[in-house]
Amino acid sequence: MQNNSQFLNKNEVIQSNIALQETIDDFLRFLQKSNVVQVAIASVIGINVNELSRSFVENIIVPIIDYSLQLFNLHNLADIQLYIFDIKLKIGRFTIVLIRVIMTVIFLYFFIIILPNIIKTSMS
């Protein structure tokens, strides 16, 4: 004869399954109410837009600026520095980051404001 205290009876198994299903349902309701999925999607899109703008600046904008700087006998934008009282300010590197941020804002504006409006008007 088996010891009944070691095994769950059928009613206990059913009750634990019901409790598990209620927990899953509560979690799914939480996800729907708190917009966690939308935030996750927005984060992934933001990361990709940042990479897009970084690539655009580093591979297109900066080489064009570097080519233009050769007219003034400067090698590249990243190497431009300003010295004030023995303090080296890396103006070129800061300028590259500033351009990258501006391009990220432009890309986000395009993908969030302009493109959806174009799609909406073309579907109307």
Are 87 and 49 found together in one domain?
yes
- The confidence score (pLDDT) of residue 1 equals 47
Contact residues for 49 (Cβ-Cβ < 8 A; gap 6+): 104, 107, 108, 111
Are 43 and 21 found together in one domain?
no
- The confidence score (pLDDT) of residue 6 equals 54
- The confidence score (pLDDT) of residue 7 equals 60
- The confidence score (pLDDT) of residue 35 equals 78
> Which domain, by its residues, includes 84?
38-123
Are 24 and 72 found together in one domain?
no
Are 18 and 76 found together in one domain?
no
**Cα end-to-end distance, the chain, whole Å:** 75
Are 49 and 64 found together in one domain?
yes
How far is Cα 113 from Cα 18, in angstroms, rounded to an integer? 45
Are 59 and 103 found together in one domain?
yes
Regions of the chain short of the pLDDT cut 50: 1
- The confidence score (pLDDT) of residue 4 equals 53
Q: In total, how many domains does the chain have?
A: 2
